[in-house]
C-alpha cells in the first residue's frame, strides 16, 4: 500500500469529520438572513380529510426560484436568477389540477394533483390546500389569480395552490481521463422552456475515439392534451440513434384509459466486468417498437384495477470490437408478439421528507401495488425462436408512525424458450425508514435485497461494488449470477437552509454483501463488508432535489485494489430503494429514452 496515498486519505477523512463537527458552530456565526429553518416533521394531510363541500374557487400563487419576501432571498444574485428564469405559466400549473370550481372536494384528487406537479422536473414545491370560504374580492392579488364558480352554494370551500419553481437551466461540462480514455462531455439542458413545461437538451461527447451528438425534446402535454411526446436524435461514430414516444399515461387513479406508441434505435457500448476491471467490450444495436393500451376496469376505485394489451418487437444485434474477449460476444436476438397484462393499485400515499432526498417532499405508496405481464413471441410473428415472456411484481408498504414505514417488493422477470429459462431473475427487497428527532434530526435506513438469476443474456451481469451499494470496494468489484446485499445507514441532518441554496447533513453506515457464480451458493461465499461515514449536501433549488455525497469507507475484507480505503464523490444515494445490484439486468436500452437524462446517461457511459 502506498503510505503517501494512505496518509492523504486519512487526512481527508479527518478534515471531513472536523467539518461535520464544526458545521453547527459555523451556522451560528452566519447572519440570520443567510439561514432559514426547515422542518423535520413529516408533512400532514389531516387538513385534506377534515374538509368537505363544493369547490367555489381556486387561487394560484406562483413563486419564482427565489422568493424576495423571504429575508435573505432579496439579494441581487437571487434577483438576477429570477430575471433569467421564466416562471411556470399559470395555465401550465392549472392544467395539472384534477379538481375545478364546481367539483366536489375529493382529498385524494387534491393529493394526486400535488403528486403530478411534484413529478415534473420544474416544480420544487406544490401544495393544494383548502381554506375557509371568503368573497373573491378578499382574495390576495399579485402572484395569485382566482378562478371562481358563481354557481357554488353557501358552505363551499376555496382552494389555494402554492407552487414554487426550481432552477431548470443546466449547463454541464465534464472532462478528464478514466480507464486510459480521455473524455469530454458538454451541453445544456433546459427543463422548462419559456415556462411552458417543455424540455430540450443538446449534448456533445468524446469518449476515447468515439464521438456523439445528441438532441432531445420532451412535451409532457402535447397540444394541451394529456398526451406526452419524447424524441431523441443522436449521431454517433457507429450510426444514428433515433427515438420517439407518444403516450397518454394514467395521469390519475380515475383515468379511464392509457396508450403508448414507441419506436427507437439505441446504439451503446456494453461492458462486462471482472475484479473491477473491464473484461470485455462490444457494441449493442437495439431496435424496439411498442404499441400498448391500458383500460381501467369500471367501478374499481380501491383498489384500482387495470387491463393492458399490445404488441412488442425488439431486435438486438451485437458487434465485436478490438476489446471484445473471446467467447463473450452475446448472441443476436429478435422477439415479436402480443402481450397482455393486469395491474392493481391500492392508494395509500404518504408524503415524507428527509428519506431518500433531503428537504424535498417525496411520495410513497404504502398500499399494495401488483402488476403482471405475459407475452407470446412465436417465430411466425418474426421472433428468432418460439418464446414466452413473463414479468410480475408485488409491492407492499406498512406505516408504523409518521416518518416511520416499511416498503417490501418481490418479483420475477424473464423468458421461457421450450423448457429453458432465459434472462430470468427472481428478486426481493425490504426497506425500513425510521425518522427520529432526538437527540438530533436523523433517519435510519435499512435496505436488504436478494436475487438469483438463470441464463442471463450475454450483456447482463449481477454487479456488487462501490457503485451498487458496497462503498468500501471499487466499482464493479464482484460479478456473478446471484447476490445478497444489506445496507444500514443513519442519515443525519442540520435543519437549516444555508445561504438559501443548500442543506447539509451526514451519514454513518455499515454494509455487507456477497455474489455467487452460476450454480454457486451465497452461504459458501465470503461476505464482503465495509463501514464508513460521509457528508451530504442537498441543493434546495435544483430540479431533482437529490443529494450530493462524499463518503469515506473502509473495507473489512480484501477486494480488488491495493487499499481498503475508498473515497467516493457522487450524486444520489449509495444504494437504490429497489434493485441496486441487478438494475442493469432489468434496465433495457429503452431507458435511455424514457428514464435517463442525457447528461446522466453520458456520464454513466
Contact 56, 149 (CB under 8 A): yes
Q: Is 4 within the bounds of a domain?
A: no
Report the C-alpha dihedral over residues 48, 50, 56, 62, rounded to 10 degrees: -30
Local confidence band at 156 (pLDDT 50, 70, 90 cut-offs) = confident
Would you say residue 2 lies in a domain?
no
Q: What is the pLDDT of residue 521?
A: 81
Considering the domain boundaries, does residue 488 fall inside one?
Answer: yes
Question: Rounded to 5 degrees, what are φ and ψ at 125?
Answer: -135, 145
Are residues 234 and 212 in contact, defined by beta-carbon separation less than 8 angstroms? Answer: yes
158 & 177 share domain: no
Looking at the predicted structure, is the pLDDT value of residue 89 above 90? Answer: yes
pLDDT of residue 39: 80
Residue 502, CB half-sphere, CA atoms under 13 Å: how many? 11
Q: Identify whether residues 474 and 451 lie together within a single domain.
A: no
| Per-residue 3-state assignment (H helix, E strand, C coil) for 547-593 | CEEEEEEEECCCCCCCCCEEEEEEECCCCCCCCCCCHHHHCCCCHHH
How far apart CA 242 and CA 227 sit, in angstroms, is 20
Tell me the whole-structure pTM to 2 decimals.
0.88
Q: Is residue 1 part of a domain?
A: no
In the block, cell 485494489 appears at 561
- Report whether 375 contacts 339 (CB < 8 A): yes
What are residue 287's DSSP bridge partners?
265, 315
Q: 303 with 425, same domain?
A: yes
Are residues 603 and 572 in contact, defined by beta-carbon separation less than 8 angstroms?
no
* SS3 of residue 182 by DSSP: strand
CA-CA distance, 581 to 247, in Å (whole number)?
30
Q: Which residues contact 364 (CB under 8 A, 6 or more apart)?
A: 349, 350, 352, 355, 397, 405, 407
| DSSP for residue 330 | P
Shared domain for 546 and 593, answered yes or no, is: no
Domain count, the chain: 3
Read off the DSSP letter of residue 379: G
pLDDT category of residue 43 using cuts at 50, 70 and 90? confident
d(CA 349, CA 302) in angstroms, rounded, equals 12
Indicate whether 76 and 109 sit together in one domain.
Answer: yes
Domain hosting 138: range is 46-165
Residues 152 and 175 in one domain: no
Same domain for 186 and 149, yes or no, is no
Query: What pLDDT is recorded for position 518?
Result: 86
pLDDT in tens, 46-66: 778 777 889 999 999 999 999
Cell numbers for 551: 463518503
What is the pLDDT at residue 94? 95
State whether 389 and 307 are in the same domain: yes
Average pLDDT over residues 580-595: 82
Beta bridge partners of 177: 182
Q: Which of 113, 142, 165 represents a domain boundary (last residue)?
A: 165
Whether 415 and 377 map to the same domain: the answer is yes
Asked if the structure places residue 3 within a domain, the reply is no
Which grid cell sits at 291? 404499441
Distance, CA of 171 to CA of 194 (rounded, Å): 17
Task: Say how many C-beta atoms besides its own lie within 10 A of residue 37's C-beta.
Answer: 8
Q: Which of 115, 24, 39 is nearest to 359 (CA)?
A: 39
pLDDT band at 7 (very low <50, low <70, confident <90, very high): very low
Q: Which tens digits make up the pLDDT trace of 443-498?
A: 999 999 999 999 999 999 999 999 999 999 999 999 999 999 999 999 999 988 99
The pLDDT mean for the chain works out to 87
The reported pLDDT for the residue numbered 181 is 66
**pLDDT tens digits for range 218-255:** 999 999 999 999 999 998 888 889 999 999 999 999 99
The string of pLDDT tens digits covering residues 548-573 is 999 999 999 999 988 899 999 888 89
The C-alpha atoms of residue 462 and residue 179 are separated, in whole angstroms, by 21
Residues 6+ apart with CB under 8 A from 66: 73, 78, 79, 81, 82, 500, 541
The Cα 486–Cα 135 span in angstroms is 57
Rg (alpha carbons) of the chain, rounded to whole number: 25
Does residue 390 or residue 172 have the better pLDDT? 390
Say what the pLDDT of residue 36 is.
72
Do 420 and 477 sit in the same domain of this protein? no
| Percentage of the chain exceeding pLDDT 70 | 88
Do 295 and 441 lie in one domain? The reply is yes
Contact 56, 156 (CB under 8 A): yes
Q: Mean per-residue pLDDT for 130-146? A: 50
DSSP state for residue 233 in the 8-state scheme: E
- Main-chain dihedrals φ then ψ at residue 205, nearest 5 degrees: -135, 135
Amino acid at each position: 500500500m502506498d503510505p503517501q496515498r494512505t496518509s492523504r486519505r486519512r487526512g481527508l477523512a479527518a478534515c471531513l469529520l472536523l467539518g461535520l463537527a464544526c458545521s453547527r458552530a459555523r451556522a451560528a456565526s452566519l447572519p440570520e438572513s443567510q439561514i432559514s429553518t426547515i422542518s423535520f416533521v413529516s408533512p400532514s394531510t389531516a387538513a385534506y380529510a377534515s374538509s368537505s363541500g363544493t369547490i367555489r374557487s381556486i387561487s394560484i400563487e406562483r413563486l419564482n426560484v427565489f422568493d424576495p419576501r423571504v429575508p435573505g432571498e432579496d439579494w441581487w444574485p437571487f434577483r438576477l436568477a429570477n430575471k433569467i428564469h421564466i416562471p411556470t405559466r399559470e395555465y401550465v400549473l392549472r392544467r395539472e389540477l384534477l379538481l375545478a370550481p364546481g367539483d366536489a372536494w375529493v382529498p385524494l384528487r387534491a393529493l394526486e394533483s400535488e403528486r403530478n406537479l411534484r413529478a415534473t422536473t420544474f416544480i420544487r414545491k406544490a401544495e393544494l390546500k383548502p381554506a375557509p370560504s371568503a368573497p373573491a374580492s378578499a382574495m390576495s392579488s399579485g402572484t395569485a389569480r382566482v378562478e371562481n364558480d358563481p354557481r357554488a352554494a353557501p358552505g363551499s370551500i376555496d382552494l389555494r395552490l402554492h407552487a414554487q419553481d426550481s432552477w431548470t437551466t443546466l449547463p454541464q461540462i465534464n472532462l478528464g481521463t478514466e480507464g486510459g480514455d480521455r473524455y469530454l462531455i458538454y451541453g445544456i439542458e433546459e427543463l422548462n422552456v419559456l415556462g411552458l413545461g417543455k424540455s430540450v437538451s443538446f449534448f456533445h461527447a468524446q469518449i476515447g475515439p468515439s464521438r456523439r451528438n445528441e438532441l432531445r425534446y420532451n412535451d409532457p402535454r402535447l397540444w394541451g392534451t394529456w398526451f406526452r411526446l419524447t424524441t431523441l436524435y443522436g449521431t454517433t461514430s457507429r450510426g444514428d440513434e433515433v427515438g420517439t414516444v407518444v403516450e397518454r399515461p394514467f395521469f390519475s387513479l380515475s383515468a379511464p384509459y392509457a396508450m403508448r406508441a414507441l419506436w427507437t434505435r439505441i446504439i451503446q457500448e456494453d461492458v462486462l466486468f471482472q475484479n473491477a476491471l473491464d473484461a470485455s467490450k462490444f457494441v449493442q444495436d437495439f431496435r424496439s417498437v411498442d404499441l400498448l393500451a391500458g383500460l381501467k376496469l369500471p367501478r374499481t376505485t380501491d383498489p384500482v384495477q387495470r387491463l393492458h394489451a399490445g404488441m412488442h418487437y425488439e431486435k438486438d444485434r451485437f458487434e465485436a470490437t478490438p476489446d471484445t474477449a473471446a467467447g463473450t460476444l452475446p448472441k443476436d436476438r429478435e422477439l415479436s408478439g402480443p402481450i397482455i397484462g393486469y395491474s392493481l393499485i391500492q392508494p395509500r400515499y404518504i408524503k415524507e421528507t428527509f428519506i431518500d432526498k433531503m428537504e424535498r417532499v417525496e411520495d410513497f405508496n404504502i398500499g399494495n401495488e401488483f402488476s403482471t405481464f405475459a407475452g407470446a413471441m412465436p417465430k411466425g410473428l418474426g421472433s428468432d425462436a418460439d418464446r414466452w415472456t413473463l414479468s410480475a411484481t408485488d409491492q407492499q408498504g406498512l406505516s408504523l408512525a409518521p416518518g416511520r414505514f416499511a416498503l417490501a417488493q418481490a418479483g420475477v422477470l424473464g423468458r421461457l424458450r421450450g423448457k429453458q429459462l432465459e434472462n430470468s431473475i427472481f428478486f426481493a427487497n425490504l426497506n425500513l425508514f425510521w425518522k427520529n428527532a432526538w437527540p438530533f434530526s436523523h433517519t435510519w435506513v435499512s435496505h436488504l435485497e436478494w436475487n438469483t438469476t438463470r441464463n442471463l443474456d450475454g450483456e447482463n451481469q449481477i454487479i456488487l461494488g462501490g457503485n451498487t451499494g458496497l462503498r468500501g470496494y471499487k466499482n464493479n468489484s464482484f460479478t456473478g449470477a446471484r447476490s445478497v446485499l444489506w445496507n444500514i445507514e443513519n442519515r443525519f441532518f442540520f435543519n437549516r437552509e444555508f445561504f438559501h441554496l443548500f442543506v447539509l447533513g451526514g451519514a454513518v453506515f455499515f454494509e455487507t454483501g456477497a455474489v455467487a457464480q452460476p450454480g454457486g451458493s451465497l452461504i459458501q461465499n465470503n461476505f464482503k463488508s465495509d463501514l464508513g461515514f460521509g457528508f451530504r449536501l442537498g441543493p434546495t433549488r435544483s430540479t431533482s432535489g437529490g443529494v450530493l455525497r462524499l463518503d469515506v469507507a473502509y473495507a473489512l475484507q480484501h477486494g480488488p485494489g491495493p487499499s481498503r480505503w475508498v473515497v467516493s464523490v457522487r450524486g444520489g444515494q449509495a444504494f437504490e430503494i429497489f434493485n441496486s445490484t441487478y438494475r442493469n439486468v432489468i434496465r433495457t436500452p429503452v431507458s435511455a429514452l424514457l428514464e435517463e437524462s442525457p447528461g446522466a446517461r453520458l456520464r454513466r457511459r
